[in-house]
Structures are given as C-alpha cells and as structure tokens.
C-alpha cells in the first residue's frame, strides 16, 4: 500500500467533517492482523484526554502538520512537552507503556501514523487521567 498525499487529503477532509475533529485509517493487512497500525488525521480543537496504555508502547510519526505531545506524572503535572513536525528536530516519538500523555494539534491538515503492540484494547476509565 502507498500512503499518498491524496489519501492524507481525503482523511483530513473526513476529520474536518467529524464532530471529534479526527479520523483514522486502518493500516492492518486484515482483521486477522493483530497489530495496531493506523493513520490518524487530527484537526486543531480535537480533544484527546490524558491517557496511558498499560500493555503497549506507542510509536507516533508526524507525516504532515504540527503537534505538541505532552507527558504527565501520576499527579497530573505536565513533565515534558515536545513539538513534532516532519521538518522539525523531532519527527517521531516512542511513548513507553504506562506513560500518561496527550497531544494538541497546532496546524490544520495534521496527520500522524500510530503503531502499538498487540490487539486493540479500548481505553478504560482507569487509563484516563481526570484533572
């Protein structure tokens, strides 16, 4: 499969029309593929709660646009923020499992690729940090 600018444009169009201001695109080979690989078009204003993944690290690659990834400790204090963009000093991150994090999109048209270990598991309430 080729990931083209046309595909990113279409995904961005769908994200803009979505009430959540984001839209993902499954990159798995089939439903039998137990990995998690996706494109995620996210528009400014999309709210992503501070969360963690208990069983998987998360690799995030910024294909276009610009965002800031925020890391938090157990007390809900922001411990680090990292700007990510294709032409910046940081283009991708690997987020360790159990790390509290969220992101804020800074530019319309931002698309990331996300990769996690194992099968999809929905985030449960204990994995959302409520401040």
How far apart, in whole angstroms, are the C-alpha atoms of residue 51 and residue 10? 28
Question: Is residue 39 domain-resident?
Answer: no
Does residue 7 register a pLDDT over 80? Answer: yes
Split at pLDDT 50, 70, 90, the class of 105 is very high
Q: Residue 119's Cα: distance from chain center in Å?
A: 16
Kindly state the tokens that stand for 22.
């984001």
Question: Is residue 38 domain-resident?
Answer: no
Tell me the backbone φ, ψ of residue 54, rounded to 5 degrees: -75, -30
In this prediction, residue 121 carries a pLDDT of: 78
Question: Is residue 127 domain-resident?
Answer: no
In this prediction, residue 30 carries a pLDDT of: 77
Does residue 73 register a pLDDT over 90? Answer: yes
Question: Is residue 15 domain-resident?
Answer: yes
The domain total for the chain is 1
Domain carrying residue 89? 5-31+45-117
Mean pLDDT of 44-62: 96
Does residue 5 register a pLDDT over 80? Answer: yes
Beta-carbon contacts of 33 under 8 Å, excluding residues fewer than 6 positions away, are: none
CATH number for position 85: 2.60.120.10
Split at pLDDT 50, 70, 90, the class of 58 is very high
Tell me the pLDDT tens digit for each residue of 22-38: 999 999 877 777 789 99
pTM confidence score: 0.93
């Amino acid at each position: 499969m080729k990931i083209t600018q046309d595909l990113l444009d279409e995904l961005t169009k769908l994200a803009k029309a979505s009430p959540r201001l984001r839209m993902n695109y499954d990159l798995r080979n089939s439903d039998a593929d137990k990995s998690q690989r996706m494109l995620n078009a996210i528009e400014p204003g999309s709210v992503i709660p501070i969360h963690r993944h208990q069983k998987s690290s998360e690799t995030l690659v910024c294909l276009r646009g610009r965002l800031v990834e925020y890391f938090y400790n157990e007390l809900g204090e922001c411990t680090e923020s990292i700007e990510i963009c294709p032409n910046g000093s940081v283009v991708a991150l690997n987020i360790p499992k159990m790390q509290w994090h969220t992101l804020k999109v800074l530019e319309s048209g931002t698309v990331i690729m996300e990769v996690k270990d194992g099968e999809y598991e929905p985030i449960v309430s204990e994995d959302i940090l409520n401040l």
